[in-house]
Chain A
Amino acid sequence: MAQRGIREYHGKAILHRNWADYFGAEFRYPFRAALVGPDTDLAGLQAKHPWLRKERLVVKPDQLFGKRGKHGLVQVDKTWEEVRAWIETHQEKRMKIGNVEGKLTHFLVEPYIPHAPEEERYLAFTTGDDGDTAYMSPLGGVDIEELWDKVVEVHIPSTISIEEVEELIRSSVPEGVPDREAFGKFASGLYRLFCDLHFTYLELNPVVIKDDEVFPLDLVARLDDTAQFLVGKKWGQIEFPAPFGRELTPEEGLIKELDEKSGASLKLTILNPEGRIWTLVAGGGASVVYTDTIADLGAAGELANYGEYSGNPTTSETYAYAKTVLDLMTRKPDPKGRPKVLIIGGGIANFTDVSRTFDGIIQALREYADRLKKVGVRIYVRRGGPGYQEGLRRIKEACEELGLPCEVYGPELHMTAIVPMALKEA
């Protein structure tokens, strides 16, 4: 998967956990934060974090979306009672953020840090093709986009040494920052942490530095999840939540779990459960091409899912995957009584055993044959690769035996040629 967003709470927890290795005693990070999820026992939380009752607080949703202040979702300078009441009215609430609608589930509660707007700075790092970029500005805060021309962008080539990096960052701290020396030290330390802990994006906006105390008032972070094996211990207990508005359906969750357990790749995203075009496509690239083709032919609105299986999954993994898709597509017939189509597509595999994976699909087809007939399914197959003749023969025979209308093609047919055939029927 590579880059994935993490909650603000976890981003801050990672900073806190590794703080001493990067800032020694030079800067301190008084990390106090509490994460409230749908199942959090607020009374227990209060016992665990006594400061909740003593301090004035800030509360905001912690679900990977930004511009929370602009959506009126940041409550500042509140008591614990007020925070609790606010969380209770907002928990489970549906919100529209940008063009995405989702449900509020997680909130971050922190002590309120009184400060003047002039103390707010901006600091961010990103990774790029030929190196990383540091962004620094004396004017942080919610209006950063309007003040973007004040931001200094420092390109950090991927080939220079860490000493050179530190020098580069320190010398690039913008003029408007009152204590340039201290800010430069903090920024270069944070950059080292950013690299070592495999962040791909880290934004502190605003960050307030008072003497040796650092307060990242707002933080956005993405990690390279493939680095789990290297620095997972340094990350500590974190999770990679689905983006806001993309909470996993139970079926997507099931496939995600299957994917994580398997050496193969199994992906499923439901785009429109009412759609009449369902796909079971092998291969990361091929699945994108099938989706493109369906969209090109003007049927994007009817496309029910995006997904792919690849990397030679076992028969039982393919069965579980196919079963999940078939179950979804046969839950109810099209309200207008039109047929549904199932596209079992794929390119010419390198080493995925086609007959073995098709055996899993056939098993699922057998199990769902009656339900498939009820919703009027037509099946279109195109696949190549090791054992494809055998696989195609078996799926054809199985469909004939089960009475499922099915057209089967091998690599001699252009990969996506089954899409127009299928759409004509749908």
Chain B
Amino acid sequence: MKPDYTLFDRDTVAIFWGLHAAPIQRMLDYDYIVGRKPSISAIVAPTRSQRFHKCFYGTDEVLIPVYRSVEAAAAAHPEADVMVNFASFRTAYGETMAALEEETIRTVAVIAEGIPERLARGMRDRARELGKVVIGPATVGGIAAGAFRIGNSGGTIEAIVAAKLHRPGSVGLVTRSGGLFNELASVIARNADGVVEGIAIGGDRFPGSDFLDHLRRYEKDPRVKFHVMLGEIGGTLEYRVMEALEKREIRKPLIAWCIGTCAGLFPGEVQFGHAGARAGRERETAVAKNRALKEAGALVPDSFDGLPELIRATYEELKEKGEIEETVEPEVPELPLDFAVALKQGKVRRPRNFICTISDDRGEEPTYCGVPMSEVIEGGYSLGDVISLLWFKRRFPKWASEFIEMVLKVVADHGPAVSGAHNARVAARAGKDLVSALASGILTVGPRFGGAIDGAAHWFKWAKEQGLAPDEFVERMKQEGKLIPGIGHRIKSVRNPDKRVELLKAYAGEKFPKTELLDYALEVERVTTAKRENLILNVDGTIGVLFVDLLASLGYSSREIDEVIEAGALNGLFVLGRSIGFIGHILDEKRLGMPLYRHPWDDILYAVERPSN
């Protein structure tokens, strides 16, 4: 058991409210350099599903359990008697009140700024009623030197060591401001031997605990030899300290200063930085408080600038009297540098595992191949342009982008009977979600379904480059027992042409600079349709060869075109376009709410035979 005047010692552990990685890490970094075990035993994060939060302790990584409520965290961690509350101003009140009701929690530090005054006063009252302590709101917290750090208090580890906040000295410090807390700690380190403990009570009008609450604890703490208090304009909390001085409740030397002495010089009302910093009455001005503090027996300098000298003189005097001994400086282990920091400072390098050359989401706005999103939208980029940027890393001319969109439209759907759409519908009727049903349809795409675009592009290009005459190509494929991809249609024929093919050909004829492979494929078609009416160049074949013509027209070399085909870009066009249709089929099934599909027995030829032996 620690004495009642001690809120934090080297064994104190806390529940940390809010999954704020930076202050959690800062607390553990502090623990590491002062050589104590991690000071956070649980984290409360009501909206997170993760069970643990991972953070560094020195070079090791430790797991801190995450709970959904203060109650659950306190029940699992009765050893934690502090809650560091990083909840926002909206939730901080409720969570603080919940923590105060936990028997095991004695101290709650509330960081949030902007908690309504009436609620802050209620928090304070409840804590007093229960004999507990609220630090804040609107504070950075404080530090028990060498023992426990609240959140971000003290700043960087370097600043903490410079201000000697990593080991106890002889001073009890209490300030209103969190920013000046560091400044004062630093002044005390330079002019005396550092603080035992420092608390920033926060800038609000009704802090949970005030100057006197902490000075009373310091008064009882034998390690504290003198106090430093930094008050400010506004409010009357400093008068409680004066009363205690007059009643001799505070006997150790108290160095005090209230900032805001300038206020009287300005006409009208100027709201200073802190919410509580507004002097309504003469009594609340910094000048009046400094005068009263002096009269009550505090050591009050003439200005803020007089503080260092006064602190030094008091320290030297107590040292001379033998009340303060020389401190032994502990070894401070070096804190490992965070990778991100080291990287920024150019101290480490690391090979990257991935390379990305098409987009970047790190800046003000995402870019597609260097083109910012705003330019994509405001500059009137078409969907085809976006595809050309992300797939081919350049903006295609209008005729080519339009062709891409035309292909997407043409392949978007081909009715519910084709195998991919059928599979998507069957999966949707099995109650699967859209993504699963879509995947079921897409996974059907391959050499036999939708894959002819790829095949056609490949084989027609190959044949033409081999210098095969159209009839030679047809003969060659026949000898090898291969069907020519992109040739043949179930119903359509020379006399009953496929409208889609007509449109694509007409477009290419008008807009493409050249259509050499299409011309070749049409010669092949003349050979095949001579054999049978329906062996026409079908829509897949047309798209395949025209895409090769498109790339060739844009200056792609033969090898580059092969790479595009091999990488699957043409299949990609089919999958992208057909996904539109698949999603339509799935949404259609969802709307219809049809039950699970079961194939009828009578549509299956059961040809099962038992093996003979």
List residues of chain A with CB under 8 Å of any chain B CB: 1-3, 99-100, 127, 129, 158-159, 195, 198, 200, 224, 226-227, 229-230, 243-246, 265, 267, 269, 271, 282-289, 291-296, 300, 306, 308, 310, 346-351, 384-386, 411, 414-417
Contact = CB atoms under 8 A, between A and B. Distances in A.
A408 B473 CA distance: 81
Interface string B117-129: 1100110010001
A293 B179 contact: no
A359 B550 CA distance: 49
B549 interface: no
B273 A159 contact: no
A36 B392 CA distance: 63
Contacts of A295: 261-262, 265
B273 A227 contact: no
B183 interface: yes
Contacts of B116: 198, 224, 226-227, 230
A288 B179 contact: no
Contacts of A296: 261-262, 302-303, 305
Contacts of A292: 259-262, 286, 303-304
Q: Is the interface of A mostly helix, strand, loop or mixed?
A: mixed
A286 B269 contact: no
Interface string B303-320: 111001000000000000
A284 B272 contact: yes
Given A284-B179, A350-B154, A411 B278 contact: no
Contacts of B115: 226
B89 A288 contact: no
A30 B278 CA distance: 36
B303 A347 contact: no
22 contacts: A2-B205, A158-B121, A158-B122, A224-B117, A230-B116, A282-B179, A284-B179, A285-B179, A285-B274, A286-B183, A288-B273, A288-B277, A289-B304, A292-B262, A292-B304, A293-B305, A300-B265, A306-B266, A348-B183, A351-B155, A384-B159, A416-B304
Nearest to B141: A350
Which residue, of A127, A198, A291, A306, has the highest number of chain B Cβ atoms within 10 A? A291
Interface stretch (B232-240, B458-466, B555-563): B232-240
A2 B204 contact: yes
A171 to B, nearest CB: 23
Nearest to B237: A129
Contact of B89 (A3, A127, A229, A386): A229
Interface residues of B, number: 68
B389 to A, nearest CB: 28
B367 to A, nearest CB: 19
Given A100-B268, A245-B268, A284-B274, A294 B155 contact: no
Nearest to B260: A288
B162 interface: yes
Given A2-B276, A385-B159, A300 B262 contact: yes
Interface in B206-259: 206, 230, 232-233, 235-237, 259
Interface in B168-204: 175-183, 186-187, 203-204
Contacts of A200: 117
Nearest to A286: B179
Nearest to B175: A285
A293 B152 CA distance: 28
Nearest to A316: B364
| Residue of B153, B269, B302 contacting most chain A CB atoms (<10 Å) | B269
A408 B140 CA distance: 27
Contact of B114 (A127, A226, A310, A416): A226
B117 A226 contact: yes
A285 B90 contact: no
Contact of B273 (A158, A246, A283, A417): A283
B109 to A, nearest CB: 13
A310 B304 CA distance: 21
B180 A229 contact: no
A384 B22 contact: no
A96 B455 CA distance: 89
Contacts of B204: 2
A50 B87 CA distance: 50
Contacts of B302: 296
A231 to B, nearest CB: 9
B180 A283 contact: yes
Given A350-B154, A384-B182, A127 B122 contact: no
A288 B262 contact: yes
Given A198-B118, A229-B90, A99 B156 contact: no
Among B26, B270, B277, the most chain A Cβ lie within 10 Å of the Cβ of B270
Interface in B542-592: none
B183 A246 contact: no
Contact of A127 (B118, B236, B266, B275): B118
Contacts of B272: 284, 287-288, 306
B155 A285 contact: no
A20 to B, nearest CB: 22
Nearest to B203: A284
B611 interface: no
